[in-house]
Structure 1
Amino acid sequence: MRALLWVIGVVAGVLILLGLILEAVRWLIIIGVIALVIVIVWGVVKGRQAVQHQGRRR
């Protein structure tokens, strides 16, 4: 009986940790996608500024 309680406790702990890890991974993916979009937008803005700046020199 005691061993069964230990097994149930360990399995429950593993499931809780797995749930937390999967939740963390989901949030990390969301944050990564947001960061990627920001970097792309920033690159486009900087690229347009560089092109406009070159046009003024000529």
Structure 2
Amino acid sequence: TSALLKNADYITGQINHVVNKLEQAKRHLGRISFRPLLEQDRKQDDILAKAAKDS
């Protein structure tokens, strides 16, 4: 086999690997709840609003 074909096979394998990793990440993100982050942001906003009001 020529070096060009070997290189093409290698690149195709790398692309498939990246696609699989992206699919895994997408599935993982689908299982994560972002609610705690939103609640934490809301609490921080409340603290900042109170500090601004008190000043």
Aligned positions, number: 38
Q: Which of 1 and 2 has greater Rg?
A: 1
| 1:29 to partner: Cα distance | 0.4
User: What's the TM-score, normalizing by structure 1?
Assistant: 0.55
| 1:39 to partner: Cα distance | 3.1
User: What's the TM-score, normalizing by structure 2?
Assistant: 0.57
Q: What residue in structure 1 maps to residue 34 of structure 2?
A: 39
Identity in percent: 0
Q: Which has the higher helix share?
A: 1
| Two-structure CA RMSD over aligned residues (Å) | 2.0
Mark the runs of 5 or more structure 2 residues left unpaired by the alignment: 40-55
State the 4+ residue runs in structure 1 displaced beyond 2 angstroms: none
